[in-house]
Each structure stands twice: as structure tokens, then as C-alpha cells.
Amino acid sequence: MLKKIHLITLFILALASSCKEEKIANHRDEKLPKPNIIWFVAEDISPRFACFGDTLALTPTIDAIAKKGMVYQNAFTVSGVCAPSRSSMITGCYPSSIGTQHMRQAKGVLPMPGVPSYNAVPPPDIKAFPELLRTSGYWTASYRKLDYQFGSPFTIWDTISETPTWRMRAKADEKRPFFIYNTYEITHEINIWPDSTKTKFFEDKNINLSKLAKDVVVRPSLDSLGRKIKLSDITLPPYFPDTELARDHIQRLYYNAMRMDQQIAKVIADLKEDGLEDDTILFFMSDHGDCLPRGKRWLYDSGLKSPLIIYIPPKYLPKGFKQPGNDSNLYSFVDLPATVLEMAGVEIPEWIQGKSIISELKEKPRKYVYGSRDRMDNRYDVRRAIRSKNYKYIKNFEPEKPYQQHIEFLERMPLMHQILEMKEKGQLNPVQSAWLADSKPEDELYDIVKDPYEINNLAQDPKFATVKNTMEKDLMSWMESIDDLYLIDEKDQAEKAWPNGEQPTTSDVTFTIKNNILTLQSNTPGASIAYRKPNAERWEIYSHPLSNIEGHIEAKAVRYGYKPSKTTTYTN
């Protein structure tokens, strides 16, 4: 069970339900049409933008969203790597509670001997929130990179595209509100590699370039970016050696952010052209922190702290919600689905583990955010983290393993290669070499305010014993509350999901007609069912029995992680 509910009376449950419905009503005027919602999701970048205090990159589009919206100064992903993080962003559940915690679970570009290849199969109630939006009448579209760990169920998106846009809606869907999930691969880790490194990688792995994003194959020219960044202006974290290569990699990260800003500008221009600016809520975020060594994949703020900006048009502002502004409370990206559902006037399911940013967390801010790390490529290492405004506590469940295990993709990065070479030659100082140690402490504790780079471990300092013990206890309590899978061998997890290594197939949809009421059913627990009427392109999500059926209806089903069923047909 994902969310352990204490034994309480039916009266209180009913009251909680009514409060949730009231909260939705209070925060969205039901007389207004439902808002359009667009996510702009960068890859692999920390809050390197002017509204977060870093002015090196020229990002006028993102700056403009921030100037009129709310900037969340303490927002964190639940994992420092894309697929587990994205699974939480799409479901509102922690990866280590629904089986999406390992990076990566489906077959990838790099061979991983000894590691099972499978889709996660989340508990049957779990749905991606865009599917819930579709059930309530939304049209949904996504960039082609999905990466949720449980496959790509056809019920989530109306359209998947290189350039998703509301302009793709069929004529019959033009009046539907839309939700669009844009992803920007220009800021991905591979794009801070020099072109020569990327080309060699593509050749070594026989990668079909036609299947890659255009700006992954060839980066747009620097000439159009409008600003040159001096290497001398770049601030290096103390755990990096001060080399030209280190500065070069960070410079390239800024340039990629500037390229992304121009891509977002095109979407904003289209909104203006179509007169949709005042009807569309905008989110800007990243899927986790910087794609640099000791950033991506790690549980330090360099890996988890991410940009988050939300702009709500005035007519959709929740009661008492003021923008523009800055919010320094703690937020987790597991909170995003609940937030979007509330904005759309859709009831938030009980199984969602996140909380709405615009209501519940506004009234009662988080005390903590949480993070997890499990397998990275073919290297297992279980770590969990809990962070307050002032402290970060990390539990290393396998302290005998090195901090930085060999990960081929990471070590293709010239900077990582240089750092490892300097380590071997004894050219790193103690701070620069500490995160490359052959083992690690079981406990880590950092004063985030005084030590933002998380260098000085206070876990063994008697003065901080109370802080450490409290946070450790609270971390373990949280892990228990979500039924964390940290003790489960991945081979057992894979076998449970795909018995004998075979992907299960969702049972076909069957039809029952009674008193002219048509009921659709699949015998697979948790299957999402969709149907399509004659001459219709769109698969409608089945949520209740159908009446007044004329002609025939096509239907099919999918359980997340399974193959979809065959299409079956009912004829009246």
C-alpha cells in the first residue's frame, strides 16, 4: 500500500474528501473555462538563471516568465537523474515506492551485463496525471522523450511529437483545454561534451543519428545567442580543480541554457499570436540538477535542487495567491501533479504522495524534501536523503562502495576523465578528491546555510547529534510510510513485473450491454481502458458506462508496464 492511512473514522475520511473538493472549488472559479497548461522542462540544469541570482546566461524569455510569475527558490527533484525523476513528475509518487527507482530499467544505448531489462509495473491505482486530465476533457501532448520507466501507455497522450503544440489538435478537439509537456534536450549532459567527443560516442555505439534530437546531433551556432561568456567569469565549485576544461564545460552549460531560452521564446510567440496568453498557465523547471560531476546522479543540492517558476494568468489566480514574487519554502517535484490537477479542477487521488503547491503547501509548508539514489547504469548504490531549510542528512546504505563508481557514460565526459587522471597523479586537494574516495561514511550531515556545497560532514560532530538523530529517524519514518523498496533485489523486482523476463499483455476489453447501458472491462487489474467511436481519431478514456450507443465502438486497454491489449469492437 503506497500511502499508509492511519485508522480513522469514516466521518473524518468523508470530511477530508469534502475539504479536498472545497479546496479545488476555492482555488479555481468554476465559471471560467479550464486553463491551458504548458510545462517547459529543461534537462540536467540547476537554477542557473537570473531570477535565482545567476546572471551569466542571457535568458530573456525565462526572465520574463519569472518577472510576472512565482519563483520557487527551494525546489527539489526526488532523484538526481532523469528517468526516476520523470516518473515522479508524471505520477506524483516517489520512485522507490512504485518501482521506478533504477536508472535505467528498459534497454538503453549502453550494454549493462547482469542488469535486468524490463518496465516497472506500478501498483494498479497509479496513473500518469495527464491521463487524469484527458479523462476530464483535456487534450494532451508531449515531446517524444517520455522516460517514465513504465513504458509509454497510449492513454496518457493525444499526441507525441518532436515539437508538440496545441496547433496539432484535430478540428473536433480545438475547444478542449490543453496540457503540453515540452522537453529541451539541448541542456542534456551529452551537450556539454565537445562535438568530437559526441561524434566518437555515436560511432562507437552505432547510434542512429536520425533518432536523436536535432540539437543533440548538431548544436545551434553561438552567433545567435547575443552574449559571450568569459571563462574567467565562471564560478567553480570547490570540489572541481580550477582548469580551463572545467570552466569550458560550465560555459557550455550556460550557452545551452541560452539556446533553450530561444526555443521557449518560439512557443511564447505562438501563444501570443493565437491569443492564448491570458488562458495559459506556464511552468518552467528542470528534471534535476547540473549535468556535471558530483551533480547529476548525486543527492547533494547540485543534483537535486532545480529551477521552478510558475506563472498563472490573473483570472486563474487562486484566492490569496499573489504574484510576482519569490517563495523560499521547500517544494518537491513530487508535488507537481497534485498542483496541476488542482489548477485544472480535477480531484486529486488519494494515492498521490505529493501535495498541491497552490493550496495545501501554501497553508502548511513542508518541513522536509526527500531524495533517493539506487542503481545508476550498471552500478548499484542505495542512498537516501532528507533536507530541511537548514540541514541535509544522507544515509548511505552501502558505505563500503566508492562514492564515484565507474559509469561509462559519465566518464565519456572530458572533465570527468580529467578529474580521474588528476586523482591518479595526486593533483587534487582534499576537497577535490573526497568525493572520489573508495568508501564513504554511513551518515552525512551538512549545514546547508553555512556550507552550501556540502563539503563539511557534521555527522560525527557531537554538537549536531540531536539534528542528525532527528533527521535520521524522520528519514526512516518517511521510507516506511512510502513502503520504500530499498531492500528489494532488482532481479526480484523485475521478475515480479515481467515473470520469466516476458512482458505481460493487458487483457482484451470485453463488453456488457444491459438496458442500453454499455460497460467496458479488462480482467487486468489497474488497466486503463480507452474507446473510440466511428470515424473518431481520439481515444477517449473510459471512466463510466456508456449510453445511447449507435454503430460500433473500438476499445483497448493497457496496464502501465504491460503491452497494450488488442483492439476489440462492440457493434450495436
Enzyme catalytic residues? 82
Residue ranges of E strands in 35-143: 36-42, 70-76, 139-143
Give the integer Cα–Cα distance in Å for 542 and 199: 46
CB 288 within 8 A of CB 306: yes
How many helices (H) and strands (E) the chain has is answered by: 16, 20
Rounded (to 5) percent helix, strand, coil in the chain: 35, 20, 50
DSSP one-letter string for 166-230? GGG--GGGTTS-EEEEEEEGGGSGGGGS-HHHHHHHHHHTT--GGGS-HHHHSPPPGGGSS----
Residue 450, all three cell numbers: 553555512
Whether residue 564 is preceded by a cis peptide bond, meaning omega within 30 degrees of 0, is no
How close are the terminal C-alpha atoms of the chain, in Å? 40
CA distances to 472, 475, 536 from 392, rounded to whole Å, are 10, 11, 52
Nearest-Å Rg of the Cα atoms of the chain is: 24
Identify the sign of the CA torsion 512, 518, 519, 522: positive
∠ CA 223-228-229, nearest 5°, is 145
Q: Within the chain, what is the greatest distance between any pair of CA atoms?
A: 81
CB 339 within 8 A of CB 70: no
Instruction: Tell me the residue type at 340.
Output: V
Burial class (CB in 10 A: 0-12, 13-18, 19+), 160: middle
Residue ranges of E strands in 344-488: 369-373, 383-387, 391-396, 443-447
